[in-house]
Structure formats: C-alpha cells, structure tokens
C-alpha cells in the first residue's frame, strides 16, 4: 500500500462571512446597567422588528459616545477583514435596540434593511442569558433552545447551509444585512435572554474623500 502523503492545497470559499468578536465585560456591565436604569423610559421598537418578543426597545439614546465609538470600531474592523479596499467605505451607525427575550418567545428567520443604504452590517451582542434554556422536546444531543441561527440557503453537500451558535455573554457577531438569521424559543425558566443589535450602514466614499484620506496616512 502506497504511503499517504500530505497534499498541499489552497481553499477558496465563496459567500457570506460572520465575524465573532469578544467584547470587554466592563462594557457589557455598563450597557446592562444603563438598560436596567432606563428601560421603562425607552421607546418600544416592536413595529420595526420581526421578533415575536414583547420587550424590544430602541436604545440609541442610552449609549454613551464611548460606547458608540466602540461599536463603530468593530464594524470598521469587519470591513477591513472582508473588503479588499476598505478605505473606499464609510461606516455610519444606524439604529440600536435590545431584545429582552423571555420563555416561549422567539425571533423568526429574517434579514435587516436600512432607509439610507442597501449595503450594511448588523450584529448581535449577548448581554445576559439564562443558566439553562429548558427542556429540549427531542434530540437533546443537538440542542436548539435559545440558540442563534444563521442560514445561507445553499443545500449543496459541499456547502455550509446553517450555522447555529450557543452565544455566550460578551460575544459579538457581525454580519451583512442580507444574511438570514433567527433565534429559537426556550422554556422552563424565568430568566431572560438579553441581546443588543446594532445596524451600521456601509456607504461608498467619493473619490475625493478616498484621496484625502490616503494623503493623511
């Protein structure tokens, strides 16, 4: 039998990318504190969202300038990672909201849009989660309760059509507006699953803006 040798290769993958970052726990604590202290005064955001969640509130006004700058830097980092010419694009923060998801609630598969741009990035930041997502109706070895799922729609045997993640506190997922995603319901607990989502429009700069920035480097 011939000796097996390692075969060199290059892998090229097409399609959408999800980038996961881990944000500082100090930031998570500050956002949770701001929400707990101000949630009753925040405007409901349900009419703009797909979720089957009672408490969905817009939170832009309780995010400090430093908080918003932090989110902006992570969106810019995604652009640097994915774009071959990142200097050509402006990242402009749009709406931010918190989903306070309780037992039996869920977020159906959906995608995001913007009034200002057809190109953009959305995100999910885990702020708080139950100790246990409850009883799985079947197949406990393949849990889904409370998990975040992304789906690309390609069912080819050679493709990854779905990515399901058990998001932990502090994990921050960034992905394009057009990527379908959702959250499964959970049960048997009074604890909440709290996530923050932030949209960021990606707008192409004028040639003059790009030239000016290059000379400033």
User: Within 10 A of 76 (CB to CB), how many other CB atoms are there?
Assistant: 17
CATH 3.40.50.300 is right for the domain spanning 19-216:
no
Q: Calculate ∠ Cα 136-138-139, nearest 5°.
A: 100
Rounded distance between C-alpha atoms, residue 102 and residue 55, angstroms: 9
pLDDT digit string (tens) for the chain, length 217 residues: 567 778 788 878 778 999 999 999 999 999 999 999 999 999 999 999 999 999 999 999 999 999 999 999 999 999 999 988 888 899 999 999 999 999 999 999 999 999 999 999 999 999 999 999 999 999 999 999 999 999 987 778 888 889 999 999 999 999 999 999 999 999 999 999 999 999 999 999 876 666 566 666 5
Question: Taking the domains of the chain in order of start, what are their residue ranges?
Answer: 19-216
- pTM, two decimals, is 0.91
The b/e string for 110-129 (b: 16+ C-beta within 10 A; e otherwise) is eebebeebeebbbbbbbbbb
């Amino acid at each position: 039998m011939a000796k097996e040798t390692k075969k060199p290769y290059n892998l090229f993958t097409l399609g959408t990318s999800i980038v996961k970052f881990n944000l500082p726990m100090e930031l998570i604590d500050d956002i949770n504190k701001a929400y707990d202290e101000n949630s009753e005064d925040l405007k409901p955001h349900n009419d703009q969202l797909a979720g089957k969640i009672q408490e969905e509130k817009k939170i832009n006004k309780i995010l400090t300038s430093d908080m918003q700058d932090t989110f902006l830097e992570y969106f810019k980092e995604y652009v640097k990672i994915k774009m071959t010419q990142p200097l050509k694009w402006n990242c402009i923060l749009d709406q931010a909201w918190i989903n306070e998801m309780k037992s039996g609630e869920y977020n159906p598969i959906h995608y995001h849009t913007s009034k200002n741009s057809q190109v953009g990035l959305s995100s999910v930041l885990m702020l708080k989660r139950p100790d246990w997502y409850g009883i799985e109706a079947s197949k406990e070895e393949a849990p889904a309760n409370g998990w975040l799922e992304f789906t690309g729609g390609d069912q080819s045997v050679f493709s990854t059509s779905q990515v399901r993640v058990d998001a932990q506190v502090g994990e921050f997922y960034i992905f394009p507006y057009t990527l379908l995603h959702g959250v499964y319901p959970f049960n048997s607990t009074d604890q909440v699953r709290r996530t923050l989502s932030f949209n960021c429009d990606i707008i192409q700069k004028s040639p003059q803006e790009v030239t000016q920035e290059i000379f400033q480097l």
